[in-house]
Amino acid sequence: MSSLKISHPTSVIKAKIHLPASKSECNRALIINALTDFKCDIQNISTARDSVTMNRLLRSDDAILDVIDAGTTMRFLTSYLSLKGKEKTLTGTARMCERPIKLLVDALRSIGAEIDYLKEDGFPPIKINGIRQQTSNKISIRGDVSSQYISSLLMIAPILPKGLILELTGEIGSRPYIMMTLQMMADFGINYTFEGNIISVNHQPYKPSHFFIESDWSGASYWYSVVALAKEAEIELVGLKKNSLQGDSAIVKLMENLGVSTQYKENSIVLRKTKNQDMEIAIDFTDCPDIAQTLAVICGANHAKLTLTGVESLKIKETDRLLALQNELAKIGISLAETIKNEAYQVSGIHNLQTQPSFATYKDHRMAMAFAPLALKHTVLIENPDVVVKSYPSFWDDLKLAGFEIEEV
């Protein structure tokens, strides 16, 4: 479909939503399962396209593996295939082949992996010939670029004959995702140490186990947006837990003064509309970059001034998310301006939804879902809405359950 016309007749919502499984947890569980020769019992596997792609490619005998636009799949498979020593070519969409992978390739090469670039140095597609012999057990890698590189290396570390000592240099970004990886490895029997900026994992086997994948807190963030932008709202989100491994669970604390309260139940949370207390807020998204777009839209629509830091990684996602936000927020009179070069950005302005804006999605699932809740303020158009299949395939159906009126145009 080309576009969806979205509105809500009352802006009053009461709903119960069954969220999809976390693709972050799922993709890690799938790699670990493969490292046990598929002996684990993994339940609640995500239906997100990224996870479906990961699961399929891990079991594929094809010489060329196409990850489509799944960055996590590309990065996790690069280490996994290097460990397995099978000759494989990893490729993806045009945008995927513009996303850098040099730091990970250099790290793997430093311990003996044979990896060749097939086009431009530093970018996919890549040909992997594997680690014939581990030449070192030490890797030094920047901690501020992508935690996916670090997680990719960590998951193969126990299977490497010499184990791995990983030194993270500089600031460590997206730390919760690194901790998620380590905790999930521990759930499958792996011992490790993380002291200062050094992570050490000795050679040891994974222990096949049962693992139930939690629902997706990134997906939950869009429902926080719905509640924040509604006149009245009470929404129960099923499948989330209080002590989550997911960094995006930070949304709970962030939204306390932005109009949404959270009540924990046994296997769900209940969101309720409250008074928006903060009209000026600063958030460091270093540990939760995937919810930056959502918060930017919420604050813009509710006339709150938001200063964003820790968002440089957004430039190398499915699209340049900072540029995409600038373009689309401008359509409703909101500016996203760089206030400190490459460090800080500010959302400000009074939104104007008097006309029917049409929001581009830039082949980015998070752009579509971040802007859709604006339909609570005024009818909006979302272009190329099918992008949500990457992480939340049932998103539009779930909006209908919450009373949104959605029409293909």
Pick the closest to residue 174 from 289, 282, 320 (CA basis). 289
pLDDT at 347 (0 to 100): 95
pLDDT digits (tens, 9 = 90+) for 190-245: 999 999 999 999 999 999 999 999 999 999 999 999 999 999 999 999 999 999 99
pLDDT at 265 (0 to 100): 96
Q: Is 130 left (phi over 0), alpha (psi -120 to 50) or beta?
A: left
- Per-residue pLDDT band for 1 (boundaries 50, 70, 90) equals low
pLDDT digits (tens, 9 = 90+) for 135-194: 999 999 998 878 999 999 999 999 999 999 999 999 888 889 999 999 999 999 999 999
Query: Could you confirm whether 290 is annotated as catalytic?
Result: yes
Integer CA distances (angstroms), 21 to 51, 140, 305, in order: 10, 33, 32
Q: What is the mean pLDDT of the chain?
A: 94
Which helix or strand (DSSP H or E) is residue 217 part of? helix 217-229
Residue 170: what are its φ and ψ, rounded to 5°?
Answer: 75, -160
- Count CB-CB contacts under 10 A for residue 273: 20
Q: Residue 184 domain-assigned?
A: yes
pLDDT at 350 over 80: no
pLDDT at 315 (0 to 100): 83
Position of tokens 């490619």? 57
Confirm if 144 and 168 have CB atoms less than 8 A apart: no
pLDDT at 104 over 70: yes
Domain count, the chain: 2
Give the mean pLDDT of 120-130: 96
User: Of 198, 222, 257, which residue sits at a domain end?
Assistant: 198
Residues 340 and 290 in one domain: yes
Give the mean pLDDT of 367-395: 96
What is the DSSP track for 176-188?
A: HHHHHHHHHHHHT
pLDDT at 275 (0 to 100): 86
**Which domain, by its residues, includes 177?**
23-198
Q: What is the C-alpha to C-alpha distance for residues 49 and 289, in angstroms, rounded to an integer?
A: 20
Residues 154 and 301 in one domain: no
Q: What is the C-alpha to C-alpha distance for residues 262 and 269, in angstroms, rounded to an integer?
A: 6
pLDDT at 349 (0 to 100): 82
Residues 251 and 192 in one domain: no
The domain that holds 148 is classified in CATH as 3.65.10.10
Catalytic pick among 290, 320, 364, 386: 290
Residues 175 and 124 in one domain: yes
Identify the top-confidence range among 136-145, 188-197, 303-312, 318-327: 188-197
Q: What is the C-alpha to C-alpha distance for residues 405 and 129, in angstroms, rounded to an integer?
A: 51
Residues 274 and 243 in one domain: yes
Q: What is the C-alpha to C-alpha distance for residues 364 and 252, in angstroms, rounded to an integer?
A: 24
Q: Residue 208 domain-assigned?
A: no
Residues 175 and 221 in one domain: no
Residues 106 and 246 in one domain: no
Residues 49 and 190 in one domain: yes
Q: Residue 209 domain-assigned?
A: no
Residues 167 and 226 in one domain: no
Residues 276 and 376 in one domain: yes
pLDDT at 392 over 90: yes
Surface-to-core class of residue 64, CB atoms within 10 Å of its CB (0-12 exposed, 13-18 middle, 19+ buried): exposed
Q: Residue 307 domain-assigned?
A: yes
Q: Residue 187 domain-assigned?
A: yes
Most distant CA atoms of the chain, gap in Å? 64
User: Of 170, 198, 226, which residue sits at a domain end?
Assistant: 198
Q: Residue 32 domain-assigned?
A: yes
User: Of 198, 224, 255, which residue sits at a domain end?
Assistant: 198
Q: Residue 206 domain-assigned?
A: no
pLDDT at 75 (0 to 100): 97
Residues 227 and 366 in one domain: yes
Residues 183 and 105 in one domain: yes
Q: Residue 203 domain-assigned?
A: no
